[in-house]
Amino acid sequence: MTFSAALTVLTDSLIALTLIYCIVLERRIRAFRKQEQSFRSLISDVSESTRMAQGAVSSLRQLLTEFSTLKANAPKVTSADRFKPEGRIEREIGPQRFGDTENSIATLAARIAALRSQ
């Protein structure tokens, strides 16, 4: 075998190895691109969940403020109120006050239902 023939065989072998390696790399790139699409959808889902959670937190903060206001405006119970003869606490709360509480609870229920439907 002459030197030029050996060099040709070596060159052909290296070209074949290069082609095989290119095929392997191309398959890896395809697999990576498939994973990239799934990661993009995952990131989109996480972003949407984060947006919904931020909305829920802001709604809960607003409700907490409303209920804190209701609690601050509620009549205080004293130790004397606990021992009234009827066995119950008598408070001077009119129907308007109860209506506000019911509206707040209805608003809370509506917001929770809206958040669940999103």
Give the confidence band of 98 by pLDDT, cuts at 50, 70, 90: very low
| Span 64-93, pLDDT tens digits | 888 888 777 766 666 665 555 554 444 444
What are phi and psi for residue 52, nearest 5 degrees?
Answer: -65, -40
Q: pTM higher than 0.75 for the full model?
A: no
Task: Please check whether residue 89 is in contact with residue 82, taking contact to mean a CB–CB distance below 8 angstroms.
Answer: yes
